[in-house]
Structure formats: structure tokens, C-alpha cells
Structure 1
Amino acid sequence: MLTNTATAKLAPQTELSAQQATLMQQLLDFSAEHLATRQTGLFVIKGAAGTGKSVVLSALINTLQQASQNASSPFYRTHNYLLVNHPEMLKTYKQIAATQASLHKKDFMKPTPFINQLTKQKRMADIVLVDEAHLLLTKSDRYNRFTQENQLTEICKHSRIVILVFDEHQVLKMKSYWNNTKLAAFLADRPHETFQLTQQFRVHAQPATQHWLTALGTQGKLLPRPLDPTFDLRIFADASQLYQQLRQRDHEYGLARLVATADFPYKLDGQTYYVTAPGFRLPWDKNMDPNVTWAERPATLDEVGSIYTIQGFDLNYVGIILGPAVGYDPATRRLKLIPDKYQDHEAFKRRADLSEQQAQQVKQQIILNSINVLLQRGRYGLYLYASDPKLRAQLLAL
């Protein structure tokens, strides 16, 4: 079934799968127990892109806010919030709040305003849900007005219960650098539970295709391309041809968008910057609408989206341009990631707690994570073009 909006899955009334329903009940039991014992608790929801982590959070915040008005509920008069650092996701949640009697826009915040507000008011929240927790800052950031060292630490200081979703393969900046090891160290001396979501809901493809996408996005591994009549996976030698085919899919089915790795110049100075390839030139996304997400505006078919506008969203078809920082190593038959060619300089802001060697490894992981985020957007099709000639030839040869 084709999706009509990029965010339809997040409606609180969306029917949960058996695994999601089990998780939902576990979250409610965990929260009720920790509220009753007044013991701080953390609950971590893990799962790859497309496994429905945000779907569960949306249903949970709606259930909690309804229960907070019910005198017979263990959640009566609780003060609960959903936090997310991703501005496009925050728009989505606020759109949802406008349609639900039990939700208010003030229930949804970015982490820094939440931390600063509760610090100033000297109060505690009850249950705090954190979507895309892999985007939480792990160092101070003047641009985001965050003066402490770790957003998750500060959220825990002001919350009785914290429920967060986490995927180490979606970390996109050094200032929010997390991995499973760092998270395990954070949780080690705190009461916590973990639940792993495994069922893929976004990519409607056979297991071999899903494995192909996962191997490329998490290991940089190029496997033989599977033949899959259920998923339209194509490799293009020409970016312009890819774009024309994608426009046709949008005309036929809607929600087809072009995205690219952050390998093309871009500055926040009001000027227009372009993603280019031989015979191809389109502007980067200009996310000017404060209320409607980039993927849901028809005009954005004529732009190129980035990881920052598309992470967390569903498309029917996605076209991806892999930029110059993504090459090919024939010796390992894997992607060759070149940080010096990556244009998202904000993502690579240096941190003192990493050696030069560690920083290089993290930079390569960030580039790979950005590829992984983009690869997992399309429900029914993925069109791929590589700027690097060697990588393009290898992809076509698959």
C-alpha cells in the first residue's frame, strides 16, 4: 500500500504489530512500576531504520497523556514530554498534536529548551520520551545553546523515567557521537531495560534486498545485486536519467524525492547551492516552511534533500546521489570513505576527547551512517547514482 504522506505512520492510532504491542505494554509496565517506587529508570528501544521505533513513541505519548487525565490511572497528573533534536521530526509531532485532543504542542520539545526550562523552574518531569536519541549532543554546543557536556545526562537529571530510541548507525555528527559501547557505559550504573525491534516496516522488499541495503549502509559492503520483483532497485550511469525516472514515479505514485550525501558545498548564508553531476544540476533543499516537512511539499521534487531533512521519514521512492567522498576500494570490495572530500564541515567539528586516529575513524563512520540513513528511505524503490567513476562502474557491474 503506497503511503500518501511522509509521516502517516506516526499517527497515534496506527495499528501496532505484535512485537510493537509487546513493547508498548512493557513500556507502560516499566513506567508504572518506577513511578510507584519513585526509582529513576531508563528504557532503551533499539532497532534499525524502518523498524517502527518512532511509531511506538507516538502511540505511547498519546496513551500517557490520555491516562494523565484519568484519576484511576497510575499516570494520573503526570507531566510527560517527547523530545527530539531533529527539527523536521519535531514539526511532524506538532502536526500530530494539533489533531489529537489529548496532545498539546508544548508536549513536544527539543532537548536543550527542555533542559533549560526545567533547570530554570527547578522541577522534574515524570516520563520523558526521546526520539532519535543517537542525535543527542555529547559535548557542549554554542550554536544550539547547550552549555553542559551531555544532553542525556541532563535529561536524566530532570526526569523520573527516560525512554529513548537509539541506533548507532544513524549518528551523523561528532558533537553527538554515540555508539553502543558509549551507551552501555552510560547505562552501566543506572537501572535500565532494553528492547530490540527487528521487523522491517519501511522497505517493502525481500530479505535478500534488505540484506543488500544493510550490508552497504552499515559495512560499506557491495554484494551481488539481488533480483527482487517486489522492490524497484536500479543503478544509474547518469544522474539526469535517474532524476527523470524519479519524477515519473512521483507523478504515478507520489512521494518520490531525490537526496544526496553531504559531499556538495552548502552554507547557511541565504545563497543557493547546488548538487551537480555531468549533465545534472539541482539546488540543495531550502527548508523554508516552519510547519510542513520537506518531503511533504510538492515543490521539493525540484530540490535535493539531505540527511537532515529526510531522516526518520518514509518515501515511496528515493533517488540517491553518492558524492565524491564515497569511492570504491577494489582490494576489499567495499566503499572507500574520504572525509577530506565531505562537505558537511559542521558534522566534523573537532572534539578534544578523540585522538587524530579516532577522529578519522569517527568521520568515516559518520559518512557511512549518512549513507545508511538515505538507503533506508524508500518503501518501494531505490535509484542510485555514484559520482565516483570507479564506484559507479562497480555498482553497474553488480
Structure 2
Amino acid sequence: MTLSVSNAATDKISPLLPLTTEQAQLVERVFTFTTTHVTGNGPAIFTIYGDAGTGKSVVLAHLFAAIQTAARTDATSPLADTENYFLVNHPEILKVYREIAGQQPHLFKKDFQRPTTLINQINQGKKHADVLVIDEAHLLLSQADHYNNFYGDNQLTALMATAKVIILVFDETQVLRLKSFWTEHRLEHLLAPFAHETTRLTHQFRMQANDALISWINDFTHQQLRPLPASAGQHYDLRTFTDAEQMRQAIVQRNQAVGLSRIVSTSGYPSTLDGGKHYITEGKFHLPWDQYNYTSTPWAELPQTIDEVGSIYTCQGFDLNYVGVILGPPVKLDDHHRLIIDLNQYTDVEAFKRRTDLTDPHELTLIKQQLVLNSINVLMKRGVQGLYIYAHDPRLRDYLANA
């Protein structure tokens, strides 16, 4: 069997990609939902739930292409002449969608926006929105964030005030920061008064690993420590390392062979948004964190980033062929060999910005710990063909090596 290898992020979510029967049926179902409700007062909301790698983005890409084609070419469609936008609150993923738009006849780069940009333009009377498609809706801000020029209370609420139809994908295990804190319960409570439908995707498309490894990652990121599966599947390369530099060299080799292979890490190492370089050092391993990417090319596709360490802010939502994950100082085993998260060693200050609606100290601690575990879930599920793991904590490192 010959496995396909991709070196472009656009190859993973292009509307030209073939869909499975189930995915095609879902696109048709949501398209019908859209045309049914776009002439109403709104908002009507369709929510697609699914873990990382379950094909949410490719479904949205096909759906939005169909919506815009109808809006711009079919005078008999309820969508004719509607103003529609695709939103994603992640600058690196936005670059991918805009690159795709440049290759499609009925998609324009301006169709793809950050939520804050569109919300502010709507508030200024410069734009309105009929249909909104929102990728990675778990990244929507759920409180004001002046750093990102959002002054409302909740981005989804602000968008619901203007749109007639909203289609969003959501995964609470990819919620990473308090300022975008969501749970399925919170989302469902917000949407309850409105016309809405939901579906849940479960099939894993990204990782060529077996269900045993997927289950192990899900358990690990809920602090349930089990031995690693004896095999991750015939076509998946799972390795643990006791030396971070050896893992780096292995990732470099895979990058030379198949491309799109990178080292990534959890927080817990020096990191400040001051424009300078900050390094992760583990023995002979010494590489800087990812730098802010001012180009239109996604971080992982830049050749020089093989000499950087990616973070959740550059990798979330992306496929890598091979990923090397560093579990930083906050992730460790205690004296009883239980997996714990030491929040005192977490260095991502952006993740834990204060919220006035979370006042119970115990609840807040549990939420923060789960956000860190969510970041591990995001990083471990990046690799299509392989996952390599190194842990800073000696106990955890030994456990993984002998598990």
C-alpha cells in the first residue's frame, strides 16, 4: 500500500478534495438547512461537533464553496446575492483558506475573515452578514479582549445579532485559553432559544493510527495514565525518546524524507511576546520558539521552521506528517505516579487571563489544568504518519520509555 504524503496545508482542506459518502451527505444536509433559514429572521445555527482530525474543516470548505457558488451564480437560489463570510480566529489557518480562495472561481480572499475584524466592520455599518461559517468556533472569544480589539462580551453572541444562518464546528477539547473558555454545555445553553441542529463527527481522518493510540491520547489528556499501545497501527510510527536532541534529529530525517515534520512543545519554557528569541533547552537540545510569522505561508511550510519549536498558536488546526512533542515542565508524575499539571511552571500568560465570571478558586484551578491538557491533545494529534514524544519530567520520561 502506498500512502499519500502532502507538503501543503491547502491539500488537507481544499474544496476539491473528494468527500466520503457521510461527509457529502452532511454537506448537503447543512446546505439545505442554510437555504431553508436564510430567508428568515435568524439566527439559525447548525453545530458540527468533532475531535481533532475528524474532517470538520474539509466539510466546511466544501460547504462554503457551495454557498458562495449559489450566491454568485444562481439567481433562483435563496442564497442569491447574499453576503456571506467564513470566519476563523487563527491567523495561520486564515492564510490557508485565503490561499485556497485564490484558486477557486467563486471564492474571494475577502470572504475569509477574523471574527473581530468582521464584528467591528459590522458595528461601523460597513458590512452585514447573511450566512457565517465558523471554523474552530472553540477559539471565539467569550469575554472582552482589548489586545485583539474586541470590546463586546462574547464574539458568538455578537455574530448571532447580525447573521441569519451560522454554521460552526466545535471541539471543547481544543479550548486553550480562559478568554475563549467554552464547554459544550455553555454553547448549548447559549443556542437553546434559537432554531438549531447538531451533528457529531467521530471518524478519525488525520491520523493513520489505530483506535488504541487515539484512546490512549484521549485518556492521557484526561489524566488517566495507561501503558502505551503495543502498536499504533501498521502505517503509524509511534516512538518515545529519553533524549530530546535525538528526537529532533529523527524529525529532521522525516522532514527530509516526506516534508511537513516539526518539533512542537507545551508551555513551560521561557516565552515573552517581546519580539526576541526565547529558547527551549533540554540537554543538547536547544532551539527557539516559533517566531511571529509575517508571511502569507503557514508556519509549518516555511523551510526554516525545522529549526524552531512550534506552539499551539502555530500548529492548532494543521496537519503535519510527523510531529515531535515535548511535554514541558508543568506535565509530570507525582510521588504516586499520577499524572499532574503544575500550574506554577506554566509560562503562557495569555492562556490564563482573568475572568470575572469564574470566581471559585478550586473550579478555576481545574479549568486551567484542563486547558493545559487540551494543549497536549492538540499537539499529539497533529501527526498524520507519526508521533514522537519526549517528556521533561524524569519520572514521566521513564514511564513513557518503559510503558
TM-score tier (shorter): over 0.9
* Match 1:77 to one of 78, 81, 84: 81
The equivalent of 1:374 in structure 2 is 379
CA offset at residue 60 of structure 1?
1.3
The equivalent of 2:331 in structure 1 is 326
Correspondence 1:24-173 to 2 at 5 A = 24-69=27-72, 70-121=74-125, 124-173=128-177
Taking the aligned partners of 2:54 and 2:338, their CA distance within structure 1 comes to 26
CA offset at residue 335 of structure 1?
2.2
CA offset at residue 217 of structure 1?
3.0
Deviations for 1:339-376, whole angstroms, at most 9, x for unmatched residues? 11111011011111112222111110110000000010
* Match 1:6 to one of 2, 5, 9: 9
Taking the aligned partners of 1:321 and 1:171, their CA distance within structure 2 comes to 20
Deviations for 1:48-79, whole angstroms, at most 9, x for unmatched residues? 00011111111111111111121122211111
CA offset at residue 287 of structure 1?
2.9
* Match 2:351 to one of 333, 341, 347: 347
Secondary structure of the structure 2 residue equivalent to 1:196? strand
1:13 counterpart letter in structure 2: L
CA offset at residue 334 of structure 1?
4.5
Deviates more, 1:302-311 or 1:270-279: 270-279
Secondary structure of the structure 2 residue equivalent to 1:369? helix
Deviates more, 1:204-213 or 1:139-148: 204-213
Deviates more, 1:207-216 or 1:270-279: 207-216
Deviates more, 1:207-216 or 1:154-163: 207-216
Taking the aligned partners of 1:84 and 1:330, their CA distance within structure 2 comes to 42
* Match 2:300 to one of 292, 295, 300: 295
CA offset at residue 105 of structure 1?
1.2
Q: State whether residues 43 and 161 of structure 2, in contact with CA within 8 Å, keep that contact through their aligned partners in structure 1.
A: no
The equivalent of 1:261 in structure 2 is 266
CA offset at residue 168 of structure 1?
0.2
Secondary structure of the structure 2 residue equivalent to 1:125? coil
Secondary structure of the structure 2 residue equivalent to 1:163? strand
Residues 1:310 and 2:329 aligned together: no
Residues 1:274 and 2:267 aligned together: no
Deviations for 1:9-59, whole angstroms, at most 9, x for unmatched residues? 111111111221121011111111112444420110100000111111111
Evaluate the alpha carbon distance shift between residue 173 and residue 259 of structure 1 in structure 2; reply closer, same or farther with a 3 A threshold: same
Secondary structure of the structure 2 residue equivalent to 1:165? strand
1:217 counterpart letter in structure 2: T
1:394 counterpart letter in structure 2: Y
Deviations for 1:236-266, whole angstroms, at most 9, x for unmatched residues? 0000000011111111111110000011111
Q: State whether residues 222 and 335 of structure 1, in contact with CA within 8 Å, keep that contact through their aligned partners in structure 2.
A: no
Secondary structure of the structure 1 residue equivalent to 2:85? strand
Taking the aligned partners of 1:126 and 1:235, their CA distance within structure 2 comes to 49
Deviations for 1:103-161, whole angstroms, at most 9, x for unmatched residues? 11111111111111111117641110111100111110110111111000001011111
CA offset at residue 226 of structure 1?
2.6
TM-score between both structures, scaled by the size of structure 2: 0.95
Secondary structure of the structure 2 residue equivalent to 1:275? strand
Taking the aligned partners of 1:284 and 1:123, their CA distance within structure 2 comes to 38
Taking the aligned partners of 1:286 and 1:150, their CA distance within structure 2 comes to 29
Taking the aligned partners of 1:101 and 1:224, their CA distance within structure 2 comes to 47
CA offset at residue 229 of structure 1?
2.9
TM-score between both structures, scaled by the size of structure 1: 0.97
Structure 1, gaps ≥5 residues long: none
Evaluate the alpha carbon distance shift between residue 59 and residue 334 of structure 1 in structure 2; reply closer, same or farther with a 3 A threshold: farther
Q: State whether residues 115 and 158 of structure 1, in contact with CA within 8 Å, keep that contact through their aligned partners in structure 2.
A: no
Deviates more, 1:114-123 or 1:9-18: 114-123
* Match 2:241 to one of 236, 244, 251: 236
Q: State whether residues 257 and 301 of structure 1, in contact with CA within 8 Å, keep that contact through their aligned partners in structure 2.
A: yes
Taking the aligned partners of 1:84 and 1:66, their CA distance within structure 2 comes to 20
Secondary structure of the structure 2 residue equivalent to 1:121? coil
Taking the aligned partners of 1:3 and 1:221, their CA distance within structure 2 comes to 33
Deviations for 1:295-316, whole angstroms, at most 9, x for unmatched residues? 1111110100000000001111
Secondary structure of the structure 1 residue equivalent to 2:146? coil
Deviates more, 1:318-327 or 1:6-15: 6-15
CA offset at residue 290 of structure 1?
2.6
- CA-based RMSD of the aligned residues comes to 1.4
Secondary structure of the structure 1 residue equivalent to 2:141? coil
* Match 1:388 to one of 383, 387, 393: 393
